[in-house]
Chain A
């Protein structure tokens, strides 16, 4: 399912940089997008993801670097000569044209006869499920319907590349998750290479074949949603995709031991960490176990005695915020299934022992 070596590179982004004077918005971006792939650019605001999308569309010009689309160098081509359709966050539907006229807007400019335009417009309306609303103006449509008109309009000229700039962020939660599936279905059905910009990790993880996590103008990591979750390579990615506890300490390479305050943790020897002794220990909240009622804990490894500071109900799980007596200001998050909290009658202020699963511990280079 995931396209790697051998797949056809549809879009190649080569060493793209963008700066305004001294400030860099994008720095040496390399990225290949495969034919038919759904790629998400994910990152916090200001990370450069929208700028990258706009450079691909030609609406903004890169300072350096090249873009190759379908074997053609398009680095300096004007927008109207590039082959893509775009959906903006605001949809930018023409308010004085109805749904059908909006979709037909690009077609009418081509030398196609009226019947053909009519046919293709109706097909697009059917594709997005809006046959009944063709005569409605954008202001008469709901947010979700407007979004679909924008999508149909972007696909009207049968582009080779679909660009989506935060297409769902203006919608409420329910409509959003419904449209996520619809967009994904249409994209797969047409095998349409798609790049979507979003700051919502759930959206990226649930829709994308591959996710590009961006941070301050560069790519932090590229991978499938599962790879990113399982093997984040930086603390930033680790904490942006899901949640990760990060503890700062010292790493004894020879003995595979990590020292955090006066606690020692054994680290799995399968992974070789090559960096300096000052580093971060990362562990996800769900990889921490509560062992309050087990005996002989002295014999077990990687144990911390902590105090419960907060208990937050998150649906099927509870998230406990716990602290060490010797370091009250550093929160450690532990996810526990609801039953365990209720049956053990855990309360704020209780002391518990937690165990950091050795094989789940990751070490990261400390950037401080």
Chain B
């Protein structure tokens, strides 16, 4: 017989299993389980009696409510079409042409990512509203032009502003993956430009294209900020939920409409996921990136197109800043900082602003740690495959959960001090209820609301790190957590910073996830923009928007600076010295 050598499972594997199960419990409780009370609520009346499908039937029979559903779909489809179209042309100009001033266009195209949709809508009011610059012809100097901002038109313009950069990011990275040799081969076979476009370019970006359709659809279908400010009488689902919950305290109807908002989003999500499943990279690691040739006509058309888009983006931003600085638009256009006092309106002064900044800092710190660690456990290890696959699925889901739905489900879940077990007279204490009414729940809602994008970007980075590092460490008897700290984190630092800055910026501008959740003693700035705008104090709303945008840009600058230093430091690992 042989001596048995340490038959026991090692401590490391045990630790790993525990961590995976722990993360699984966390993502279940933060993502999936809170949706259950929402579903239950949609089948109950406001006194918590089970009433079956009555809410849904009431909804369908109410013509003004069903109209909202149709309106939301109209908005989503129109926005998606234009956002992807504009995003595609812009992305094509950046990647496949010799566009002049490419760097400039590249940097400023993403400018609108830092403007909250609410602020975009406010900016639009100052340009196209009743007293807007264009509507009044620059204070009467030229003939005015009214686009009927309030309603469908305003929503569409605002949503395109909001969605276009999202489509752009996806399409730029899809178009960047190209192989010069394919185009050279096609040329040698005498393919026309149109044929090359249809047979090489389009097939290569179809997954990116599909993904950008999906993202734009969900964002515009569920957005609350733009319709709230410029929607006028054009009701959409998101504003309906808000009215039911905040205006009438009708949580049951709010929950029911949430389901109507959630289902199309989840459907779009599943279609996209099913489509992406077939993705296989057509571009190999050895491919030679596409080098666009000079083409005076195409390059000039692209230059004009991109300039127009940028002028609009910068125009909207300037009008927000201008509106915040002008005393009483349009009657007294002298400049002053009085709108930045915030004393006359909601009366909270700078408190909401600082609350938001702290909330965003916490979200950035805890969100980044949580998301990166989750991705690391899912991506790098072998044990508990099914559980890791579930964690992966749950982590990709939040992108399909509209902010308002997430917020509503969080209220319903986190304000319960205990759960009663069905059929048993038994109650379990809900430890998460301790978060209710604290900054913690806002941070958590933000972490989950923006989880998917961060998770995917962490996963992508971790995939690029040689999986054999873990195996080498094992063979060298070094426990995985040491390798995580010493190798994985330093190598992922650029992505970690990127995730942190993404979390910060989005927490600064978001309104939908936290509008139901924020405790009265912790006012936040994006909600106060809604309230100031409701109260007719648009200038103060513009001032708050300006603060948010400037803060986000400032943090982004810090990020750019830090990440440049990091990449300078790490360039010695990545780029071989030229000899």
In the bound complex, do residue B468 and residue A139 qualify as a contact, i.e. CB atoms below 8 Å apart? no
In the bound complex, do residue B487 and residue A72 qualify as a contact, i.e. CB atoms below 8 Å apart? no
User: Which residues of chain A (331-352) have a CB below 8 Å from chain B?
Assistant: none
Question: A72-B2, A88-B472, A96-B490 in contact; A80/B477 too (CB < 8 A)?
Answer: yes
In the bound complex, do residue A86 and residue B472 qualify as a contact, i.e. CB atoms below 8 Å apart? yes
User: Which residues of chain B (109-138) have a CB below 8 Å from chain A?
Assistant: none
In the bound complex, do residue A76 and residue B574 qualify as a contact, i.e. CB atoms below 8 Å apart? no
In the bound complex, do residue A73 and residue B12 qualify as a contact, i.e. CB atoms below 8 Å apart? no
Q: Which residues of A contact B468 (CB under 8 A)?
A: 88, 90, 92
Within the complex, the shortest CB–CB distance from B160 to chain A, in Å, comes to: 42
- The chain A residue sitting closest to B2, CB to CB, is A73
Q: Interface size of B by Cβ–Cβ distance < 8 Å?
A: 34
Within the complex, the shortest CB–CB distance from A114 to chain B, in Å, comes to: 17
A186 on interface, CB distance cutoff 8 Å: no
Complex CA distance for A57 and B476, rounded to whole angstroms: 11
B4 on interface, CB distance cutoff 8 Å: yes
Complex CA distance for A96 and B476, rounded to whole angstroms: 17
User: Which residues of chain B (466-523) have a CB below 8 Å from chain A?
Assistant: 466, 468-469, 471-479, 482, 486-487, 490-491
Interface centre among B9, B472, B479, B572 (most CB of A within 10 A): B472
Q: Which residues of A contact B103 (CB under 8 A)?
A: none
Q: Which residues of B contact A97 (CB under 8 A)?
A: 486-487
Q: Which residues of B contact A58 (CB under 8 A)?
A: 474
Complex CA distance for A57 and B477, rounded to whole angstroms: 12
B7 on interface, CB distance cutoff 8 Å: yes
Query: A149-157, A170-178, A269-277, A280-288: which lies at the B interface?
Result: A149-157
In the bound complex, do residue B491 and residue A59 qualify as a contact, i.e. CB atoms below 8 Å apart? no
Q: Which residues of B contact A85 (CB under 8 A)?
A: 475-476
Question: A73-B5, A92-B469, A96-B490 in contact; A84/B475 too (CB < 8 A)?
Answer: yes
Q: Which of A81, A90, A94 contacts B5 (CB 8 A)?
A: A81
In the bound complex, do residue A59 and residue B471 qualify as a contact, i.e. CB atoms below 8 Å apart? yes
A326 on interface, CB distance cutoff 8 Å: no
A74 on interface, CB distance cutoff 8 Å: yes
In the bound complex, do residue A140 and residue B576 qualify as a contact, i.e. CB atoms below 8 Å apart? yes
Complex CA distance for A110 and B468, rounded to whole angstroms: 21
A231 on interface, CB distance cutoff 8 Å: no
B13 on interface, CB distance cutoff 8 Å: yes
Question: A105-B476, A109-B477, A153-B476 in contact; A140/B469 too (CB < 8 A)?
Answer: no
Q: Which of A59, A73, A95 contacts B474 (CB 8 A)?
A: A59
User: Which residues of chain B (269-300) have a CB below 8 Å from chain A?
Assistant: none
B141 on interface, CB distance cutoff 8 Å: no
In the bound complex, do residue B475 and residue A154 qualify as a contact, i.e. CB atoms below 8 Å apart? yes
Complex CA distance for A109 and B473, rounded to whole angstroms: 10
In the bound complex, do residue B7 and residue A76 qualify as a contact, i.e. CB atoms below 8 Å apart? yes
Within the complex, the shortest CB–CB distance from A144 to chain B, in Å, comes to: 14
A71 on interface, CB distance cutoff 8 Å: yes
Question: A71-B3, A137-B572, A140-B576 in contact; A96/B477 too (CB < 8 A)?
Answer: no
B104 on interface, CB distance cutoff 8 Å: no
Complex CA distance for A139 and B474, rounded to whole angstroms: 23
User: Which residues of chain A (85-103) have a CB below 8 Å from chain B?
Assistant: 85-86, 88, 90, 92, 94-97
Complex CA distance for A150 and B486, rounded to whole angstroms: 18
Complex CA distance for A57 and B471, rounded to whole angstroms: 10
User: Which residues of chain B (434-481) have a CB below 8 Å from chain A?
Assistant: 466, 468-469, 471-479
B6 on interface, CB distance cutoff 8 Å: yes
B573 on interface, CB distance cutoff 8 Å: yes
A224 on interface, CB distance cutoff 8 Å: no
A290 on interface, CB distance cutoff 8 Å: no
User: Which residues of chain A (44-95) have a CB below 8 Å from chain B?
Assistant: 57-59, 68-69, 71-74, 76-82, 84-86, 88, 90, 92, 94-95
A138 on interface, CB distance cutoff 8 Å: yes
Question: A73-B3, A79-B471 in contact; A92/B570 too (CB < 8 A)?
Answer: no
In the bound complex, do residue A139 and residue B476 qualify as a contact, i.e. CB atoms below 8 Å apart? no
Complex CA distance for A76 and B473, rounded to whole angstroms: 19
- The chain B residue sitting closest to A88, CB to CB, is B468
Q: Which residues of A contact B487 (CB under 8 A)?
A: 94, 96-97
A106 on interface, CB distance cutoff 8 Å: yes
Within the complex, the shortest CB–CB distance from A159 to chain B, in Å, comes to: 8
In the bound complex, do residue B12 and residue A92 qualify as a contact, i.e. CB atoms below 8 Å apart? no
In the bound complex, do residue B3 and residue A95 qualify as a contact, i.e. CB atoms below 8 Å apart? no
Complex CA distance for A257 and B110, rounded to whole angstroms: 82
In the bound complex, do residue A106 and residue B477 qualify as a contact, i.e. CB atoms below 8 Å apart? yes
Question: A90-B466, A92-B469 in contact; A79/B573 too (CB < 8 A)?
Answer: no
In the bound complex, do residue A77 and residue B471 qualify as a contact, i.e. CB atoms below 8 Å apart? no
In the bound complex, do residue A78 and residue B471 qualify as a contact, i.e. CB atoms below 8 Å apart? no
Complex CA distance for A86 and B473, rounded to whole angstroms: 10
User: Which residues of chain A (138-196) have a CB below 8 Å from chain B?
Assistant: 138-140, 153-154, 156-157
- The chain A residue sitting closest to B490, CB to CB, is A96
In the bound complex, do residue A105 and residue B5 qualify as a contact, i.e. CB atoms below 8 Å apart? no
User: Which residues of chain A (195-242) have a CB below 8 Å from chain B?
Assistant: none
| CB 8 Å contact bits of B1-37 with A (1 = contact, 0 = none) | 0111111011011000000000000000000000000
| CB 8 Å contact bits of A19-44 with B (1 = contact, 0 = none) | 00000000000000000000000000
Question: A78-B12, A80-B10, A140-B572 in contact; A95/B2 too (CB < 8 A)?
Answer: no
Within the complex, the shortest CB–CB distance from A16 to chain B, in Å, comes to: 15
Q: Which residues of B contact A57 (CB under 8 A)?
A: 471, 475
Q: Which residues of A contact B9 (CB under 8 A)?
A: 78
Q: Which residues of A contact B482 (CB under 8 A)?
A: 109
Within the complex, the shortest CB–CB distance from B500 to chain A, in Å, comes to: 20
In the bound complex, do residue A106 and residue B476 qualify as a contact, i.e. CB atoms below 8 Å apart? yes
In the bound complex, do residue A94 and residue B10 qualify as a contact, i.e. CB atoms below 8 Å apart? no
- The chain A residue sitting closest to B480, CB to CB, is A80
- The chain A residue sitting closest to B4, CB to CB, is A73
Within the complex, the shortest CB–CB distance from B39 to chain A, in Å, comes to: 37
- The chain B residue sitting closest to A136, CB to CB, is B577
In the bound complex, do residue B13 and residue A92 qualify as a contact, i.e. CB atoms below 8 Å apart? no
Complex CA distance for A68 and B1, rounded to whole angstroms: 11
User: Which residues of chain B (556-579) have a CB below 8 Å from chain A?
Assistant: 570, 572-577
In the bound complex, do residue A156 and residue B476 qualify as a contact, i.e. CB atoms below 8 Å apart? yes
- The chain B residue sitting closest to A94, CB to CB, is B487
In the bound complex, do residue B475 and residue A137 qualify as a contact, i.e. CB atoms below 8 Å apart? no
Complex CA distance for A74 and B577, rounded to whole angstroms: 44
Q: Which residues of B contact A154 (CB under 8 A)?
A: 475
In the bound complex, do residue A157 and residue B474 qualify as a contact, i.e. CB atoms below 8 Å apart? no
In the bound complex, do residue B570 and residue A105 qualify as a contact, i.e. CB atoms below 8 Å apart? no
Complex CA distance for A184 and B93, rounded to whole angstroms: 56
User: Which residues of chain B (236-287) have a CB below 8 Å from chain A?
Assistant: none
In the bound complex, do residue B576 and residue A106 qualify as a contact, i.e. CB atoms below 8 Å apart? no
User: Which residues of chain B (521-579) have a CB below 8 Å from chain A?
Assistant: 570, 572-577
Q: Which of A71, A140, A157 contacts B2 (CB 8 A)?
A: A71
- The chain B residue sitting closest to A87, CB to CB, is B472
User: Which residues of chain B (157-177) have a CB below 8 Å from chain A?
Assistant: none
**22 residue pairs from A and B, CB less than 8 Å apart:** A59-B471, A59-B474, A71-B3, A72-B4, A73-B4, A74-B5, A78-B9, A78-B12, A78-B13, A79-B471, A79-B475, A81-B5, A86-B475, A88-B471, A92-B466, A94-B469, A96-B573, A105-B473, A105-B478, A109-B482, A110-B477, A156-B476
- 4 closest A-B pairs by CB: A106-B476, A92-B468, A72-B5, A73-B2
Known A-B contacts: A68-B2, A78-B474. Give 18 more (CB < 8 A): A57-B475, A58-B474, A76-B7, A77-B5, A78-B9, A80-B10, A81-B5, A81-B10, A84-B475, A85-B476, A94-B487, A96-B491, A110-B477, A138-B573, A139-B574, A139-B576, A154-B475, A156-B476
